[in-house]
A and B are shown apart, each in its own frame.
Chain A
Amino acid sequence: MELYSFDDDYVRRLREGDRWTEEHFHRYFNELLLIKLRSRLSSMQAIDDARQEVFVRVFRTLRSPEGVRDGRKLGSFVNSVCNNVLFESYRGREGREEAAAGAYDQSDIADDAVSAEDALVTGETKAQVQKVLDGLDSKDAKLLRSVFLEERDKNEICREYGVDRDYLRVLLHRAKERFRSAFLRRAEIVRMKPSDTETGKPSLRR
């Protein structure tokens, strides 16, 4: 939900280890990396390993003497590091499905990888999204569910519902816009809860 432009000052703060900037950086790219990696890797473990590797490499480069020259291109840099990590992952798993020339169909994604994306929907956000889905016309809601849940050809699903692929895109766009309006009205901030993905939440006690 957060619109953000990166610049040299942001990169400088990251290089200097400013913890608030680090936290923002992590939150911002963690979501994007989850979405991207989910479309390429088939297990939660592989996604998590790749995600961590991307962050480690990005920080290593940021803090090296060369650093990142143009702060405005930080996002592009993170994406290219992610591509390198994925490429190495494919090479390391030669012969496996992931390496199949970027074969890309959401229905191919294993449940385990799908759960990586669940981390995007937490607490209040989940309730908001749910309201949006509940507010959809029942046919539209069923259509979205079919598209995202059933392992069938999307054209076949569209034919069954008497719509075309454009309708599908518009439907998703509309749901997204409704969610955004509802979200802005409440003026809340979406925050990841990193500790939810761990095996147990550490607690500090005296």
Chain B
Amino acid sequence: MEHAEAIDTMAAERYLLGEMTPEDRDAFEEHYFGCGACASDVRDGAMIRAAVRTQKANRTRQPRRSVREWLTAAAIVGVIAGIPVMQNVSLRGQLARARAPQFVKTFSFVTAGARGGEEPSLDAGGHPFTIYFEIPPQPNARRYLVEVVDASRRVLAKDSVAAAAAGEGQYLSFPGGLKPGRYSLEVHAEPAGSPGTVWSFIVR
């Protein structure tokens, strides 16, 4: 499908309203994946559609967990690991079970080889766990960006630590666990200098 045809026939609207034949739909997808303007059209329309749907959903569904709740869960894991993460955070009823002390697995990457070393295999699928690692100091670094990336290169979490923290132990807590799969923990200095440090790991 050509761009002019997509515009003339209101292809994005027909696509989102489910009015296309399978052939037209395939042709339009082939076009909009490579056309910034039509991709934008589809995305904007999909947002409208999603918003209309969530209007109803919001009336009937339980509220989503707030950032505060997730932070609360992170704090609990942090305390268990001996790390004062946060204080004076009120817990909600649905997280009451998480109040109780519990053991969480901690996996150390300190001796695991970064970039090419043996991949640690973490037996923690779906359960809370913590990774302990150290950031190799880099000259002129102002801070370090730490990311957790899945096999499809999707960034699951991003955080930063001050340059002074390099060489000290860091805990990365996963209060909700991770699904089984392959991941990597990546540390990059800012401003960019030498290549970052990457630990690939598998969650079983």
Query: What A residues does B109 contact at CB under 8 A?
Result: none
- The answer for the CA separation of A117 and B54 in the assembled complex, in Å, is 10
Cα A129 to Cα B50 in complex, Å, equals 9
Q: Contact: B176 with A206, CB < 8 Å?
A: no
Verify A129–B34 contact, CB threshold 8 A: no
Q: Is A44 an interface residue (CB 8 A)?
A: no
Q: How far is the CA of A190 from the CA of B188 in the complex (A)?
A: 25
CB distance from A176 to the nearest CB of B (A): 5
| Interface 0/1 of B74-94, CB less than 8 Å to A | 100010000101000000000
Known: A35-B43, A203-B71. A144 touches B17 (CB 8 A): no
Contact with B along A182-203 (1 / 0, CB 8 A): 0000000000001100111111
Q: Residues 93-118 of chain A: 1 if any B CB is under 8 Å from the residue's CB, otherwise 0?
A: 00000000110111100010011011
Complex CA distance for A83 and B26, rounded to whole angstroms? 9
Tell me whether A129 and B51 are in contact (CB under 8 A). Answer: yes
Q: Is the CB of B52 within 8 A of A145?
A: yes
Collect the chain B residues with CB atoms within 8 Å of residue A173's CB: 10, 12-13, 45
**Is B197 an interface position by the 8 A CB rule?**
no
Indicate which residue in A3, A79, A118, A172 contacts B33 across the interface (CB closer than 8 Å): A79
Q: Map CB proximity to B onto A15-43 as digits: 1 under 8 Å, 0 otherwise.
A: 00001001101101111100110010000
Chain A: which residue is nearest B175 at the CB level?
A: A200
User: Cβ of B44 and Cβ of A176 under 8 Å apart?
Assistant: yes
Q: Which listed residue, A5, A52, A106, touches B151 by the CB 8 Å rule?
A: A52
**Residues 35-63 of B at the A interface (beta carbon under 8 Å):** 35-37, 39-57
In the complex, the answer to whether A201 meets B176 with C-beta atoms within 8 Å is yes
A7 to B172 CA separation, bound complex (whole angstroms):
37
Q: Size of chain B's interface in residues, with CB distance under 8 A?
A: 79
Q: Check if B163 is an interface residue, CB within 8 A of chain A.
A: no
- Taking the closest CB of chain B, its distance from the CB of A30, in whole angstroms, is 7
- Give A69 Cβ to nearest chain B Cβ, in Å: 14
Chain B residue contacts of A73, Cβ below 8 A? 34
Chain A residues positioned under 8 Å from B168 (CB to CB): 206
- Interface: B6 (CB within 8 A): no
B12, B147, B157, B171 pick with most chain A CB within 10 angstroms = B157
Q: Which of A26, A74, A121, A130 has a CB less than 8 Å from the CB of B154?
A: A26
How many Å lie between the Cα of A9 and that of B7 in the bound state?
29
State A72–B34 Cα separation when bound (angstroms). Answer: 8
Please indicate the chain A residues that have their CB under 8 angstroms from the CB of B176 in the complex.
198-201
How long is the Cα–Cα vector from A55 to B156 in the complex, in angstroms?
14
What residues of A have a CB within 8 angstroms of the CB of B153 in the complex? 22, 25-26, 55, 59
Could you give 28 example pairs across A and B, Cβ below 8 Å?
A1-B44, A2-B36, A6-B34, A26-B153, A35-B42, A35-B43, A36-B29, A52-B150, A52-B152, A59-B152, A101-B22, A121-B51, A129-B50, A149-B56, A168-B13, A169-B13, A169-B19, A172-B17, A176-B13, A194-B156, A199-B179, A200-B174, A202-B172, A203-B71, A203-B172, A204-B146, A204-B157, A205-B78
